[in-house]
Amino acid sequence: MLIREYSPRDIEWVLWIERACFPENQQYNATTFHSLHVKDPNLFIVAEYQGVIIGYAVGERWGDVGRIVSIAVHPSYQGRGIGSKLLEALEEKMLTRGVKTVRLEVGVSNTPAINLYLKHGYEPINIIEGYYGEENALVMAKRIKD
């Protein structure tokens, strides 16, 4: 498996993963992914296996604060540590860009993702009611550099 920076030619794969992983009302579209890529190309990465994009992670930053916008691994490839590898690679990229704290939002019912973040040292800090329409979001954060 190769983790590399996203290229616009990957968009159909990323949308395939998006449709497989998220309810329709929580999916990003091609325009949103394009905007995130243009904003900070270095913080948009994909996991590629045998020529197929099987996962992605995208982040953004404001000064020394980074935000994980989305991480997803196609259900056919979940449970193999790919999410962890994407998370670690994105944190490393943020660290080299001067980020000290990383934040994220995750649906309160998304137990696998919450467990992934807890395993990697993220701590719950807040709840945002109705963030995903009917579902609340758990805000989590991790200090990656003092």
pLDDT one-digit tens code per residue, 10-66: 999 999 999 999 988 889 999 999 999 999 999 999 999 999 999 999 999 999 999
> Cα dist. 133→31, 72, 106, 107, 108 in Å?
21, 20, 13, 10, 12
CATH number at 21 reads: 3.40.630.30
Q: Please count the structural domains in the chain.
A: 1
Three-class SS state of 88: helix
First to last CA, the chain: 31
Q: What is the DSSP letter of 114?
A: H
Is the predicted pLDDT of residue 133 greater than 90, yes or no?
no
Tokens of 22: 């998220």
With beta carbons less than 8 A apart as the criterion, state whether 131 and 105 touch: yes
Report whether 36 contacts 56 (CB < 8 A).
no
Residue 39 domain boundaries? 2-143
